[in-house]
Amino acid sequence: MEQEQEMFNQRTDLSELSQAVEQIRTQLGKIIVGQTATIDLLIAGLLANGHLLLEGVPGVAKTLSAKLVAKSISATFSRIQFTPDLMPSDVLGTAVFSPKTAEFQFRQGPIFGNIILVDEINRAPAKTQSALFEAMEERQVTVDGNTYKMEEPFMVLATQNPIEQEGTYRLPEAQLDRFLFKIEIQYPSLEEEIEILTQQHQTDTLHQLEDIKPVLNVAQITALRATIKALHVEAKLLAYAAQIVNETRQNKALYLGASPRASLAIVNSAKAIAAMAGRDFVTPDDIVKVATPVLAHRVMLSPEKEMEGLTTADIIAQIIKKIEVPR
């Protein structure tokens, strides 16, 4: 392998990025046992400038994972607990009358921050969830005819329980489409669970969180994102990504296919995965790796397939198997 590395000297300096990724992995690994794929997707989402939706049953460290990512970055952090009675103004902010100046002044809501943890996002009704639309896509908030720009980086890390759980609402498709990845956090394996118990039965997770130090600042993240944006993607691979997304629109097992935003999400996140692997170009493997987390939440199963017990991830896996890899 050394010979190969000498043969192909890197065109892009990815050493800083590799170092940062390794540091974040180490930080997260201090508390989260296993879940390497989840951690990699969290980092890829951060580098690809996307919002992330973490789904899992209660107790699998969804909120903890999101908090750890936030703590690894030296940036402003807000947490919003979504509840059924939460109003859009509780998220965005509201105009308050100031007797001093005899004018209404806009008081910013918790959405104004760099890293926003929206905990249990599907416990709030669609009205409140739709308050996030503009902020997530356009990175701005419009209230009373005034537009307020969000500070960069702006990243929403949302957690949700599976839709079958009590007291949850299905997220609107428009909002689901705004999340780069839906990361499904699974139960740990037996060995991992034993390790969790061994590591944590005598320590408090809250104290452990205090030990997490930021490894990246806002300027570094912005620079890394710019580096990733400039990575090389062959035209055939762009066509490959487009073909996968297009197939979701033709597939009879799916009631709703993915949007062009999904194609862009695949390419951008594949670039982040490539950079994390130390490459300055994308391979088909990078695209395949991100296809399911990018697409699974953006498409909808047909009722028949839903009744058969299939998931959107199953259909996407079938689609990928059907499409010829450019080689």
Partner 1 sequence: MKNISKRFSVVLLLAAFLLLTSTLLAQKPKANAFKKVAKDTIALRLDSSKTKVRQFDGQAIERYKAEKEFQYGESDTQQLNWWERFWKNFWAWIDRLFGSDEAPKKSKSWPAFVKYGVIAIVVLGIIFVIFKLVGVDWKIFSKKSKEIEVPYDESLENIHEISFEDELLNATQSQNYRLAVRLLYLQTLKLLSDKELIDWEVNKTNAIYVKEFKQNGGNDVFANLTYQFEYVWYGDFPIDKSIFDMIQASFEQFKNQIK
Query: Using CA atoms, how far apart are residues 169 and 172, in angstroms rounded to an integer?
Result: 9
1 contacts partner 1 (rule: CB under 8 A)? yes
* Residue 141 three-state SS: strand
Q: How far are the Cα atoms of 131, 209, 229 from residue 92, in angstroms, in the given order?
A: 7, 28, 29
322 contacts partner 1 (rule: CB under 8 A)? yes
Query: Using CA atoms, how far apart are residues 55 and 160, in angstroms rounded to an integer?
Result: 5
Which positions from 6 through 25 interact with partner 1, judged by CB under 8 A?
A: 7-8, 11
Compute the least distance from the CB of residue 235 to partner 1, in Å.
10
Q: Which is nearer to partner 1, 126 or 277 (CB)?
A: 277
- Which has the closest alpha carbon to 42: 178, 170, 184, 160? 184
Which positions from 279 through 308 interact with partner 1, judged by CB under 8 A?
A: 279-285, 288
Token pair for 56: 């899992």
Q: Which is nearer to partner 1, 100 or 321 (CB)?
A: 321
Q: Which is nearer to partner 1, 147 or 318 (CB)?
A: 318
Q: How many residues bind partner 1 (CB under 8 A)?
A: 24
* Residue 76 three-state SS: coil
4 contacts partner 1 (rule: CB under 8 A)? yes
323 contacts partner 1 (rule: CB under 8 A)? yes
166 contacts partner 1 (rule: CB under 8 A)? no
Query: x/- site string to partner 1, residues 227 to 266, per CB under 8 A?
Result: -----x-x--x-----------------------------
Q: Which is nearer to partner 1, 6 or 85 (CB)?
A: 6
**Helix axes of 284-295 and 312-322: crossing angle, nearest 10 degrees:** 150
Compute the least distance from the CB of residue 221 to partner 1, in Å.
25
Q: Which is nearer to partner 1, 87 or 239 (CB)?
A: 239
Return contacts of 216-221, CB within 8 angstroms, 24+ apart: 216/20, 216/23, 216/24, 216/72, 216/73, 216/74, 217/73, 217/74, 217/75, 218/73, 218/74, 218/75, 218/114, 218/152, 218/153, 220/16, 220/20, 221/46, 221/47, 221/73, 221/75, 221/153
Compute the least distance from the CB of residue 184 to partner 1, in Å.
22
Interaction site with partner 1 (CB under 8 A): 1, 3-4, 7-8, 11, 232, 234, 237, 279-285, 288, 320-325, 327
